[in-house]
Chain A
């Protein structure tokens, strides 16, 4: 006991010593997460950590703020002037990091770059046909068809400087088949709140405050410097936070949260994420690959799908596997996403007896055998969740073989339709249900809808949602699609992931549901 007190005392003293030194000089944030951004080129990799990194240096026309509300950013206002044309007023007086002026030319150029073949964002804004410059601070963005949620799609479309890109020969995003790296991979020049000072991929990235940022009046943040170090080993990451070498970690492992909470001077922040974890059952094929039922596909029967659903005790998974850090889900969209309602998000009841009865009615009183494919390095405790599911389905007589494999092998299996029963998670950057529908409900033949589920009536509704500019009607359609999918158990939702950030008492960084850090909201303890 005494020894522990001594150690504890040393820990506090050293933590204070570490914290005290930089604070006197300037407000530096030292932080870490599991992996670095893939590239500094803001149009080359559409991936959450990369978007989060780009957002610090580059600005977008529309910003998703800390509550994921759409906020005017480089565009001060926007409106639909006819069904296919959006008008954007651009902010005046905005300077690039090199001191030059931001104008409509840069916006036009950025959209052309985003739509070029090597861009990873071209699908996100593929409805854009042309950007017309009306004057240096006004553009018309013309679409090939009506696009009511275009502003939602802009929160990760970063605006680059035309002059800088031309000067450094980076008018197109990096081509991965090329032999040389382009200038934009390790250099960045935006209009954003921070300037890139040092970029050593995988090792260290240092950002400094942009004193001339246009948003300083509105968001008077006190961050002078941000030092980011990726630390891939979770134990090392937590140790570095405990020892005071870091102020903030993005992804502490669940099993260490109690340790962090009980350490004086440290705290955690948590929120439900915009990502939902679910199981897919292939109901499109006539015969399954791994099932013991050889003559037909049992998943074609809604009673079987519902039996699987009702056999899963989601509260037990929450308590035992997720240690309380999950929100049970009724649909594949969480509360931050347009189209979510508490009613839809309520699950069908957990009822193993009813499940067993449904299976018997469907003609499988003794269950059957099937394989569950699961990633083991993608979602929080993904393999653990699948193990729990295996045990729960065994109780209604379904014998499940679990195959837990790395994501690089798992995802192609879904897209090549080589799995009968699989786990997947889905995040929604546009914060609108249509995004989920377009990937998981449509496209039964190829892509991410590995269930093969294909309902013409639903597909028609989704096509209508895409172009419906009457928002009342649109919402009604979204609700209808969700309800039908829920009633038919086309997917088996499990839970919305909960994200947890850990930090010390020196700073307070508000947590954001898309897991992207917005340091401009940081408060320092005085």
Chain B
């Protein structure tokens, strides 16, 4: 067990180094940050001096090595754009993103699962067909179009919800939350719906197909033959068995929700990490981009690590195979 986990942790670190390396390679193509940092009047010598002081004239490998060395110590430098430490910026923005992602995940689960079960059971009902058709919109419309549409209807025409920002936030230690004020709740509705739509559709369709599959199995037929009530069969027997793959997908998708939130955050001016990243790209703000990409890689890797460990715990076959192969004298 310990060896297995150690091996996985080792792999995770390797993945993160590769991500950092590739993203550093890409930074060569985002342009020259110095241009954004000094006014148009700065002379050639001033620019060179600044480039030197930032270490941008060093060879790629030296820059990368320095980044790794600092990153290991938790030091990500200072944002070229905002002139503030990157670590502070990211920890300030993280609550906004996590609240948005959390709200979207809950929304997509609370809507996706019941709708999936419903359309799985009543597969020929008109209502099921309507839900399925509508859910197609969720997968096919790009996020920013959905966001702008919602803004148009609920902010411009109806005037019910704010079109941008987080509303009034309350500071709980280092965590800023929008959940303690009415304006905060109002502000999170449209962004979280926008972000949740795709995930909800995914969960809905997954649950539905799993339900259809389970409903065909023998033990459901036997349950029916025993004369159990429908409710018990549907939820007690069928639904329970659909959950294993659904949970896996949901777990993995929290990572992609964080990644997808970039667009949603831009549309709604949501002050989260994704928005910070997009602005960093426009400015060629290398310290912020590097830190963000490593962080997202870390999130994905951590989730995967937990999923792997969970499999190990849940699935006895994995353990057996390993002992057998280890015993094989490799």
Contacts and interface: CB of A to CB of B under 8 A. Distances in A.
A216 interface: no
Interface of B: 29-33, 35-44, 46, 49-50, 53-55, 75, 77-78, 80-85, 88, 148, 151-152, 155-159, 162-166, 266-269, 271, 275-276, 278-279, 282-284
B32 A408 contact: yes
A253 interface: no
Given A14-B159, A232-B279, A408-B30, A239 B81 contact: no
Given A239-B151, A412-B32, A439 B163 contact: no
Nearest to A36: B82
Given A180-B85, A408-B33, A11 B269 contact: no
Given A202-B271, A245-B155, A439-B40, A174 B83 contact: yes
A429 to B, nearest CB: 9
Contacts of A13: 159
A14 B153 CA distance: 13
Interface stretch (A38-46, A98-106, A336-344): A38-46
A179 interface: yes
Nearest to A185: B83
A439 B41 CA distance: 8
Contacts of B30: 406, 408-409
Given A180-B78, A181-B78, A41 B83 contact: yes
A243 B159 contact: yes
A201 interface: yes
Given A120-B38, A243-B163, A411-B32, A181 B158 contact: no
Contacts of B31: 406-410, 412
A175 interface: yes
B84 A406 contact: no
A176 B54 contact: yes
A230 B269 contact: yes
Contact of B279 (A202, A406, A409): A202
Contact of A244 (B77, B159, B271): B159
If over half of A's interface residues share one DSSP class (helix, strand or loop), that class is named, otherwise mixed; here it is loop
B267 A233 contact: yes
A185 B49 CA distance: 22
Contacts of A229: 164-165, 269
A124 B46 CA distance: 13
Q: Looking at A39, A229, A243, which has the most chain B CB atoms within 10 Å of its CB?
A: A243
A244 B174 CA distance: 32
20 contacts: A10-B157, A14-B159, A38-B83, A46-B39, A46-B41, A46-B42, A120-B39, A176-B83, A177-B50, A177-B55, A179-B77, A181-B88, A186-B84, A231-B164, A235-B267, A239-B152, A240-B155, A406-B31, A407-B31, A415-B44
Contacts of A81: none
A179 B266 contact: no
Contacts of A1: none
Given A46-B41, A181-B78, 5 more contacts: A39-B83, A44-B83, A203-B271, A408-B33, A410-B31
A47 interface: yes
- Nearest 6 A-B pairs (CB), nearest first? A408-B31, A46-B39, A14-B159, A409-B31, A177-B53, A243-B155
Q: Looking at B35, B83, B157, B162, which has the most chain A CB atoms within 10 Å of its CB?
A: B83
Contact of B81 (A38, A179, A204, A243): A38
Contacts of A175: 53
A181 B156 contact: no
